[in-house]
Structures are given as structure tokens and as C-alpha cells.
């Protein structure tokens, strides 16, 4: 998949790693904002909203770390060994 995306150099792979981190923090910020707004508008649902937001954030973090690990493995196996 990375070859099809034309990530074939170390700077390109490092840029992809930085992009993964940037997107992670952007989505976590959006989730925090949505959870805060819903909690303020519907105080009775605050706990459920918080739990749902934490679950979504943990899912995003897990998948981002897996993606970073995949890109790092790709760097080690495909780019550095060329």
C-alpha cells in the first residue's frame, strides 16, 4: 500500500509518520470538543458521552500507533535495505 502511495524514500516515509501524528491530535481535539459540547448541552448524558469519547480516542490512538509501527517496519525492510 505504501508503494502504491509512492512512499519510496526516507523523507517521504518520515513525512507520513508526521502526518499520522498530526491527524491523531486533530481527531482527538475534535472528539474532545464534541464531547464537551454534548456534555454542556445534555448534562444527564455527560458520563455516557465521556465514556464514548474515551473509547473512540483509545481506538484512534491504537490504530495510529499500529500505523506508525507499520510505516517504521516498511522503512526498515524496504527503504533502508535498498
Per-residue pLDDT of 15-72, as tens digits, reads 889 999 999 999 999 999 999 999 999 999 999 999 999 999 999 999 999 999 998 9
Q: Which of 82, 74, 81 is nearest to 13 (CA)?
A: 74
Residue 62 falls inside a structural domain: yes
Range of the structural domain that residue 28 is part of = 10-79
Q: How many domains does the chain have?
A: 1
Res 4: pLDDT: 67
Residue 71 falls inside a structural domain: yes
Residue 75 falls inside a structural domain: yes
Helix ranges (H only) for the chain are 10-41, 46-74
Residue 69 falls inside a structural domain: yes
Residue 3 falls inside a structural domain: no
Residue 23 falls inside a structural domain: yes
Residue 2 falls inside a structural domain: no
Residue 4 falls inside a structural domain: no
Amino acid at each position: 500500500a505504501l508503494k502504491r502511495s509512492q512512499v519510496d524514500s526516507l523523507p517521504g516515509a518520515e513525512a507520513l509518520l508526521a502526518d499520522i501524528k498530526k491527524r491523531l491530535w486533530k481527531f482527538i481535539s475534535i472528539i474532545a470538543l464534541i464531547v464537551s459540547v454534548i456534555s454542556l448541552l445534555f448534562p444527564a448524558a455527560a458520563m455516557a458521552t465521556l465514556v464514548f469519547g474515551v473509547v473512540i480516542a483509545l481506538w484512534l490512538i491504537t490504530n495510529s500507533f499500529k500505523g506508525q509501527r507499520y510505516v517504521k517496519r516498511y522503512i526498515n525492510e524496504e527503504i533502508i535495505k535498498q
